[in-house]
Amino acid sequence: MGKKPRLANYEALRIVAMLMVITMHYLQKGGLLAPLSENLGLPNLAAWLVEAFSIGAANAYVLISGYFLAEAAWSWKKLLSLIAQIWVYSVGVPLICLGLGLGNVAEWELYDWVTVILPLQSEHYWFATAYVIMYLFVPVLQTGVRKLSQKQFQTMLLCLVLFFSLGKSLLPVALPTDRYGYDYGWFVCLFLAAAYFRLYGFPWMEAKGRSWVVYAGSAILIWLLGAGAAIFEKKGLPLSYAGDMLYSYNHVLILVLSAALFMAFGQLTVKKELLEKGIIRLAPYSFGVYLLHENIAVRYLWQSWAGVEKVQGSLLFIPHMLVTVCLIYAIGAGVDFLRSRIAAGAIKAWKRKREE
């Protein structure tokens, strides 16, 4: 199979999803998301609204992969390249921080170093662990999808959504099997949903503009329900769990939001050739942005470097957040560009040496 060209609309979603991921880490690890039951002030409400609009990012990233992997050739080279990229960041960032005296890497104990040396087994990056395991299942999933009729596929998908999403969304208690969407089981569910979209589409959502309305409506509904749960919790009703679960990746509303966001970008057309080329060139470095800013050596440091604490409790966090998130993405993309060039040069040198 020849290498298929990248589509600018889905590559744009890849970039936007990573910007959303950085935004969530800015809010969560920057201390801007106080529990709504404790703080219903305007800045905190605004922060939770931004969180609601960003919460589908991880799901969208998996939907993009599932949409294309459903019909793509599975490759050991891609898998090994992905694992190598994860390992380089996992080990390299702490070593650089150690050399520069940044953070507390010098005080790390044995377990901390095991975490970075074995990033997949230790879930150093939970997303990377879940994604790699899902990728290992891709050949089996591809074969299974081809064997099923549309009705069989619908039934299987409905059962998976019921198990992973709908059940936990309706019940008022935590389930032992619920990992809140932080595992490969949920990623497999998303992969199959994307494969279904690829094969059969989703006509109701494909009506012009409807997917954007569903996306925005879902985000606002999540936000309103969260605020409502907080208000009733303050009155003594035990709704803290229900409020928290609204922002878990496998909640049914977030599944709907994520699917709508994916479908909305699927309908976009990038008309300007220069913009299209820029998006396609930039998007592949997005995963490196994640691996850099979420490394355990810096994941709780860059917020203080950016001065997030100075805008806590103020609506000034909004412009500060926009600038910081774009800057983190730009730095991460630049670093991954350099990493990719170094890796490509090393591979060429190795091949040349083998041929001599």
- Of the candidates 17, 136, 169, the one whose C-alpha atom is nearest the C-alpha of residue 69 is 136
- Of the candidates 261, 243, 263, 333, the one whose C-alpha atom is nearest the C-alpha of residue 54 is 261
Q: Reduced to 3 DSSP states, what percent helix, strand and coil does the chain have, rounded to the nearest 5?
A: 75, 0, 25
Q: Of all residues in the chain, what percent carry a pLDDT higher than 70? A: 99
Per DSSP, the residues of 142-157 read: HHHHHHS-HHHHHHHH
The whole-angstrom separation of Cα 282 and Cα 330 is 10
What's the mean per-residue pLDDT of the chain? 94
pLDDT tens profile 141-179: 999 999 999 999 999 999 999 999 999 999 888 899 999
Question: What 3 state SS string does 165-212 have?
Answer: HHHHHHCCCCCCCCCCCCCHHHHHHHHHHHHHHHHHCCCCCCCCCHHH
Look at 96-105, 164-173, 270-279, 345-354 and tell me which has the smallest mean pLDDT. Answer: 345-354
- Of the candidates 258, 275, 274, the one whose C-alpha atom is nearest the C-alpha of residue 266 is 258
pLDDT tens profile 281-337: 999 999 999 999 999 999 999 999 999 999 999 999 999 999 999 999 999 999 999
- The DSSP call for residue 237 is -
Could you give the 3-state DSSP secondary structure of residue 48? helix
Q: Of all residues in the chain, what percent carry a pLDDT higher than 90? A: 86
- Residue 55: CB atoms within 10 A of its CB come to 25
Greatest C-alpha distance within the chain: 77
Q: What is the predicted pLDDT for the residue at 353? A: 79
- Of the candidates 205, 199, 167, the one whose C-alpha atom is nearest the C-alpha of residue 67 is 199
Q: Is the pLDDT of residue 114 over 60?
A: yes
CB neighbour list of residue 222: distance below 8 Å, 6 or more residues apart: 52, 55, 246, 247, 251, 253, 254, 257
Could you give the 3-state DSSP secondary structure of residue 294? coil
CB 116 within 8 Å of CB 94: yes
Q: Is the pLDDT of residue 5 over 70?
A: no
Q: What is the predicted pLDDT for the residue at 4? A: 58
What sign results for the dihedral spanned by CA atoms 215, 216, 222, 225? negative
- Residue 352's pLDDT band, with cuts at 50, 70 and 90, is confident
CB 190 within 8 Å of CB 66: yes
Q: Is the pLDDT of residue 1 over 50?
A: no
Average pLDDT over residues 207-216: 92
The whole-angstrom separation of Cα 24 and Cα 57 is 9
CB neighbour list of residue 126: distance below 8 Å, 6 or more residues apart: 182
Residue 310 buriedness (CB in 10 A; 0-12 / 13-18 / 19+): exposed
